[in-house]
Structure 1
Amino acid sequence: MSFAIQGVYCAAATPLKDDGTPDLRLFGAHARALLDEGCHGVALLGSTGEAASFGLCERMDLLEAALRAGVPADALLPGTSVPSVTDTVALTRHAVQAGVKGVVMLPPFYYKAFSDEGLFRFYARVIEGVADDRLRILLYHIPMLTGVPISHSLIAMLREAFPDTVVGIKDSDGKIENMQAMSARFPGFGVLAGADPLLLPVLQAGGAGCITASSNVVARELRTVYDHWNDPARADEVRAAQDTIVAWRNLTNAYVQLPTVKTMLARRRGDLGWLNIHPPFTPLSEPECEKVWAEMARLESI
């Protein structure tokens, strides 16, 4: 089945300068490299990209930096949601006017204990505020951070009202059963796994691909799984790629994931500027960095 948004997308980390502002040059180079390494596209400014720690202008600047670096607009999936409808409309309109493939949109996450009807109204106001037929939205289900789950009933409401706009979901809750159920219930609605090891089972369930943190460092292996998962002649190759993905994903979780991913990128990209991170996160300690880098060297030698 074909989906409006499908493939291997990197939940790209965002490099920072020492003063905490985004390093636009380094980010552009990273985004370009991710495509060269096998990603179909770059999902910038999500959880791994520290989106909630940037201002609106910085977020727009990062999107434009990727474009200047030669990343095609239709390979970009920026996160554009904040609790304010007005600011979400502004970020989303900027992205759509730049020609992006789609946007990844969290539910409003400050207030809690509201109904699906309230969430529907938030998304409806954003869609109507952007007022552009080119808009394609991936919902973002990550209740461990937002405290606001995306229910199947909400998806049904949005699909009925905006079938050409609300085209899929990134599910980062880690429950393959939910991804399987969405794929079965909503034909043509692209379900993308938010955890690297779940790409294979999501594809087997009729899903659309993945948006993951570990693709910052294992894009090639994820692309191997995506391209050949259903080819019996490549089963051994897919199995080996899956084992590699799991090993690297486990390494990203050796410490707090976000600073660990950035530590891995400092070695992979050859630039210690990648160690910078927004508070409340803190960089890994020097001994922790050395352990991560040693394990990277071991995995690379296999």
Structure 2
Amino acid sequence: MTTATPPFPPSPPGAPTPAPPDARDRAAVFGRALCAMVTPFTRSGALDLDGAQRLADRLVSAGCDGLVLSGTTGESPTTSDAEKAELVTAVREAVGDRASIVAGVGTSDTRHTVALARAAEQAGADGALVVSPYYSRPPQDAVEAHLREVADASGLPVMLYDIPGRTGTRIEPDTVLRLAEHPRIVAVKDCSYDFLGAQKVLAQTELAYYAGCDEHNLALYAVGAAGYVSTVANVVPERLRAVLDAFDAGDTAGAARQQRRATELVEAMMAKGLPGAVTAKALLGDLGLPSGPVRAPLRPADRKTVVELRAVHDRLAA
């Protein structure tokens, strides 16, 4: 298991030269530019490990220094425990030590989550992404106890995943502040849309904060976040990495310009009523890249949507 910060891959051609490493690098325990990678399937719906390896290699080569597997975009609710472990093993084989691998292990059952965390560690993950328990809507003391038990269960560093729009339960900022005292709870993926709460945690802890909503990538980075965990990076990894590189090089106006340029694609993929797994797979498939179908209950994007997504993508890529 690798726990040290992985080396950052070189920036894409033409990107500004990043500033020398500083305290932000030490905080970015899993890297800066992380992709919430889709889980490729074959046409019949089976796990496509070869496709996953090819996609992972492409993402890392294009600027991602971390991959988050079996998260929301990775369709974790519809992959089996065995498939999750196989995916980690295959992607580790493909990327080696060029990027960190954070494995989604969150479920609504503490015992199940503990088992997944241990399996992810054995499969070669560098960290565990743990969402608050969903559906049962436990109070904050129960959420905290759940997350501590998972962090205690393996040697993996833990990234908390705060996404109340899907789970129905926040990991409240005060709860995060208490959890930050745990030696293995080291990071947060923030999909709370609570910018004030995020800044409060950034101001009072050493946690590595990651924007989990692409429209917040630069905003959170500018106030001290470690980077992002991005769905949109599945299709334009180099474009999103360029935002961070420009900011690190002191070109804040350029970073803002790059972020604004990506807005149309972020909106098309994430705010048009379809889950990111659907839009990301639709675009990847249209680009001839590994993706495959989504698993039910998700349904694939219709052709009209795919054409619209591709047009937005091509305008950004031009």
Same fold (TM over 0.5): yes
Instruction: Please give the secondary structure, in 2, of the residue aligned with 1:169.
Output: strand
Shift of 1:231: 3.5
Q: 1:206 to 1:297 in 2, by over 3 A?
A: closer
Q: Does 1:208 align with 2:233?
A: no
Residues 88-109 of structure 1: per-residue CA shift (max 9 Å, x gap) = 2222112223443311101221
SS in 2 for 1:76: strand
8 Å CA contact retained: 1:44, 1:76:
yes
Deviations 1:31-70 (A, max 9, x none): 1111001011101111111111111011111111112323
Residue 220 in 1 paired to residue 238 in 2?
A: yes
SS of the residue 2:119 aligns to: helix
Question: Cα 1:299–1:225, aligned 2, differ >3 Å: closer, same or farther?
Answer: closer
Pick the aligned partner of 1:240 from 246, 250, 257.
257
1:66 aligns with: 91
Provide the rounded CA distance (Å) in 2 between the counterparts of 1:97 and 1:58.
14
- Percent identity, aligned pairs only, is 25
**Partner of residue 89, structure 1:** 114
* Matching residue of 1:173: 192
Aligned partners of 1:117, 1:48: CA distance in 2, in Å? 28
Cα distance, 1:261 vs structure 2: 1.4
1:151 Cα deviation from its structure 2 partner = 0.9
State the Cα distance separating 1:181 from its structure 2 match: 2.0
Counterpart CA distance in 1 for 2:123 and 2:97 is 10
| Alignment match, 2:10 | none
* Corresponding position of 2:249: 231
TM-score (norm 1): 0.89
Per the TM alignment, residue 247 of structure 1 is displaced from its structure 2 partner at its CA by 2.4
**Alpha carbons 1:43, 1:78 under 8 Å: kept:** yes
In the alignment, the residues of structure 2 paired with residue 95 and residue 201 of structure 1 have an alpha-carbon distance, to the nearest angstrom, of 31
* Corresponding position: 1:262 with 2:299: no
> Compared with structure 1, are the counterparts of its residues 221 and 238 closer, same or farther at alpha carbon in structure 2 (3 Å cutoff)?
same
Ranges in structure 2 where 5+ consecutive residues have no aligned partner: 1-22
Q: Matches of 1:258 and 1:206 in 2, distance apart? A: 28
- 1:102 corresponds, among 96, 104, 127, to 127
- Following superposition, the deviation at residue 165 of structure 1 comes to 0.4
Higher helix share: 1
Work out which of the residue numbers 66, 75, 79 in structure 1 matches 2:104.
79
Query: Equivalent residue of 1:19, what SS?
Result: coil
Partner of 1:140: 161
Structure 1 stretches lacking a partner, 5+ long: none
Q: For residues 116-151 of structure 1, what are the alpha-carbon distances to aligned partners after superposition, in whole Å with 9 as ceiling and x for unaligned?
A: 221222122223333x3xx20010000000001001
Closer, same or farther: CA 261–168 of 1 in aligned 2, 3 Å: same
Give the Cα–Cα distance (whole angstroms) in 1 for the partners of residues 311 and 240 of structure 2.
23
Q: 1:116 to 1:230 in 2, by over 3 A?
A: same
Aligned equivalents of 2:247, 2:201: Cα separation in 1: 20
Shift of 1:152: 1.8
Deviation string, structure 1 residues 229-271 (Cα, Å, up to 9, x no partner): 1434x34532332123222212213451331111111123x15
Is 1:292 aligned to 2:316, yes or no? no
Q: Relative CO higher for 1 or 2, CA cutoff 8 Å, sep ≥ 6?
A: 2
What is the distance in 1 between the residues matched to 2:36 and 2:102? 9
Match of 2:210, as an amino acid?
L
**AA partner of residue 222 (structure 1):** L
TM-score w.r.t. the length of structure 2 is 0.85
| Deviation of the 1:74 alpha carbon | 5.5
Match of 2:180 among 159, 175, 178: 159
2:145 is equivalent to residue 121 of structure 1 = yes
Asked whether the equivalents of residues 24 and 62 of structure 1 are also in contact (C-alpha less than 8 Å), the reply is: yes
Corresponding letter in the other structure for 1:137: V
The structure-2 alpha-carbon separation of the partners of 1:6 and 1:126, relative to structure 1 and needing over 3 Å to count, comes to same
Deviations 1:214-235 (A, max 9, x none): 1112211222222231434x34
